[in-house]
Amino acid sequence: MDIRVTDLAKEFGGARALRGVSLHIRSGELMALLGPSGSGKTTLLRIIAGLERAERGSVFFGETDATRLSVQQRHVGFVFQHYALFRHMTVADNIAYGLRVRRRSERPSRAAISARVEELLALMQLEGYGGRHPAQLSGGQKQRVALARALAVDPRVLLLDEPFGALDAKVRKDLRAWLRQIHAQTGHTTVFVTHDQDEALELADRVAILNHGRIEQVGAPDEIHAQPASAFVASFVGDAARVPVRVRGGKVVFGEEVLEAPGAAMADGDGWLWLRPYDLRLAGEGDADAAGGPAGQLGGVIVGVRRTANGRRVEVRLHGLDVIVEADAPAGLSCGEGGQVTLAVLGGRVFPENS
Amino acid sequence: MSDLEPQRQRVYTPDSVVTEAPWARAAIIAFAAAFLALFLLLPLGLIFHEALSKGFDAYWQALTDPDAVSAIRLTLLVAAIAVPLNLVFGVAASWAIAKFDFPGKSFLITLVDLPFSVSPVVAGLVYVLLFGAQGLLGPWLQEHNIQIVFALPGIVLATVFVTFPFVARELIPLMQEQGTADEEAALTLGASGLRAFLTVTLPNIRWALLYGVLLCNARAMGEFGAVSVVSGHIRGLTNTMPLHVEILYNEYNFVAAFAVASLLAILALVTLIGKTILEWRYGEAISGRH
Same domain (yes/no): A67, A205 = yes
Question: Which of A72, A84, A153 has the CB atom closest to B182's CB atom?
Answer: A84
Rounded Cα distance, B255 and A215, in Å: 81
Question: Which of A49, A78, A101 has the CB atom closest to B195's CB atom?
Answer: A101
Mutate to test the interface with B, among A12, A42, A46, A86 (most CBs of B within 10 A): A86
B188 and A82 within 8 Å at the Cβ level: the answer is no
Same domain (yes/no): A57, A186 = yes
Q: How far is B237 from chain A (nearest CA, A)?
A: 46
What is the share, in percent, of chain A residues with pLDDT greater than 90?
46
Mutate to test the interface with A, among B175, B178, B189 (most CBs of A within 10 A): B189
Cβ pair A191, A218 in contact under 8 A:
no
Rounded Cα distance, A260 and A300, in Å: 19
Cβ pair B112, B212 in contact under 8 A:
no
Helix (H/G/I), strand (E/B), else coil: A355: coil
What is the count of structural domains for chain A? 2
Residues of chain B in contact with residue A85, where contact means CB-CB under 8 angstroms, are 185
Same domain (yes/no): A250, A224 = no
Question: Which of A51, A77, A135 has the CB atom closest to B290's CB atom?
Answer: A135
Q: What is the pLDDT of residue B201?
A: 93
What is the count of structural domains for chain B? 1
**For residue B10, pLDDT beyond 90:** no
Q: What is the pLDDT of residue A50?
A: 94
Q: For chain A, say whether B200 makes contact (Cβ under 8 Å).
A: yes
- Which of residues A174, A205, A233 is at a domain's end? A233
User: How do residues B210-228 score in pLDDT, each as one tens digit?
Assistant: 989 999 999 999 899 899 9
- Which of residues A182, A202, A233 is at a domain's end? A233
User: How do residues B79-94 score in pLDDT, each as one tens digit?
Assistant: 999 999 999 999 999 9
B194: nearest CA partner in chain A: A101
A129 burial (CB, 10 Å; 0-12 / 13-18 / 19+) is: middle
- Which of residues A210, A233, A256 is at a domain's end? A233
CB atoms within 10 A of CB B246: 17
Q: What is the pLDDT of residue B135?
A: 79
B186 burial (CB, 10 Å; 0-12 / 13-18 / 19+) is: buried
Rounded Cα distance, B2 and A130, in Å: 65
**For residue A34, pLDDT beyond 80:** yes
Q: H helices then E strands: how many in chain A?
A: 9, 20
User: How do residues A148-167 score in pLDDT, each as one tens digit?
Assistant: 999 999 999 999 999 888 78
Same domain (yes/no): A217, A72 = yes
Q: What is the pLDDT of residue A57?
A: 93
For chain B, what is the mean pLDDT?
A: 87
Q: For chain A, say whether B176 makes contact (Cβ under 8 Å).
A: no
Q: In this structure, are strands A76-79 and A241-248 parallel, antiparallel, or unpaired?
A: unpaired
A51 and B181 within 8 Å at the Cβ level: the answer is no
Residues of chain A in contact with residue B190, where contact means CB-CB under 8 angstroms, are 72, 75, 98, 101-102, 153
Same domain (yes/no): A288, A346 = yes
Cβ pair A185, A104 in contact under 8 A:
no
Q: How far is A233 from chain B (nearest CA, A)?
A: 31
Q: How many angstroms separate the Cα of A317 from the Cα of each of A310, A337, B97, B182, B243?
A: 22, 11, 55, 52, 86
**For residue A130, pLDDT beyond 70:** yes
For chain B positions 239-258, those within 8 Å of chain A (CB to CB) are none
User: How do residues A257-299 score in pLDDT, each as one tens digit?
Assistant: 777 755 556 677 788 888 888 888 877 655 545 445 556 778 8
Rounded Cα distance, A238 and A201, in Å: 10
Q: How far is A78 from chain B (nearest CA, A)?
A: 7
Question: Which of A72, A135, A146 has the CB atom closest to B187's CB atom?
Answer: A72
Same domain (yes/no): A175, A303 = no
Q: How far is B104 from chain A (nearest CA, A)?
A: 14
Question: Which of B190, B203, B204 has the CB atom closest to A101's CB atom?
Answer: B190
Residues of chain A in contact with residue B192, where contact means CB-CB under 8 angstroms, are 72, 101
Q: What are phi and psi of A322, to 5 degrees?
A: -90, 55
Residues of chain B in contact with residue A88, where contact means CB-CB under 8 angstroms, are 203-204
**For residue A178, pLDDT beyond 50:** yes
DSSP run (H or E) holding A342: strand A340-345
Cβ pair A277, A296 in contact under 8 A:
no
User: How do residues A309-349 score in pLDDT, each as one tens digit?
Assistant: 777 888 888 887 778 888 887 776 767 778 888 888 877 88
Helix (H/G/I), strand (E/B), else coil: A212: coil
B284: nearest CA partner in chain A: A135
CB contact burial A186-210 (16+ within 10 A = b; e otherwise): eebbbbbbbbbbebbbebbbbbbbb
Rounded Cα distance, A222 and B62, in Å: 89
A97 and B199 within 8 Å at the Cβ level: the answer is yes
Domain containing A11 equals 3-233
The CATH number assigned to the domain holding A262 equals: 2.40.50.140
User: How do residues A290-305 score in pLDDT, each as one tens digit?
Assistant: 445 556 778 888 888 8
Same domain (yes/no): A165, A312 = no
Contact pairs from chain A to chain B, CB under 8 Å: 62
Cβ pair B148, B179 in contact under 8 A:
no
Q: What is the pLDDT of residue B235?
A: 81
The CATH number assigned to the domain holding B65 equals: 1.10.3720.10
Please compute Rg for chain A using Cα positions: 25
Q: How far is A202 from chain B (nearest CA, A)?
A: 27
**Residue B136 neighbours by CB under 8 Å, 6+ apart:** B129, B130
Same domain (yes/no): A219, A163 = yes
Same domain (yes/no): A224, A92 = yes
Q: How many angstroms separate the Cα of A245 from the Cα of each of A26, A62, A271, A272?
A: 39, 46, 5, 6
Same domain (yes/no): A124, A207 = yes
Same domain (yes/no): A183, A326 = no
Q: How far is A104 from chain B (nearest CA, A)?
A: 13
Q: Which residues of A touch B (CB under 8 A)?
A: 49-51, 71-72, 74-78, 80, 82, 84-88, 97-98, 101-102, 135, 146, 149-150, 153
- In a domain, residue B182? The reply is yes
Rounded Cα distance, B123 and B160, in Å: 11
Rounded Cα distance, B196 and B199, in Å: 5
**For residue B1, pLDDT beyond 50:** no
Same domain (yes/no): A249, A219 = no
| Whole-prediction pTM | 0.79
Domain containing B93 equals 53-287
Q: What is the pLDDT of residue A320?
A: 75
Cβ pair B101, B116 in contact under 8 A:
no
Rounded Cα distance, B226 and A57, in Å: 56
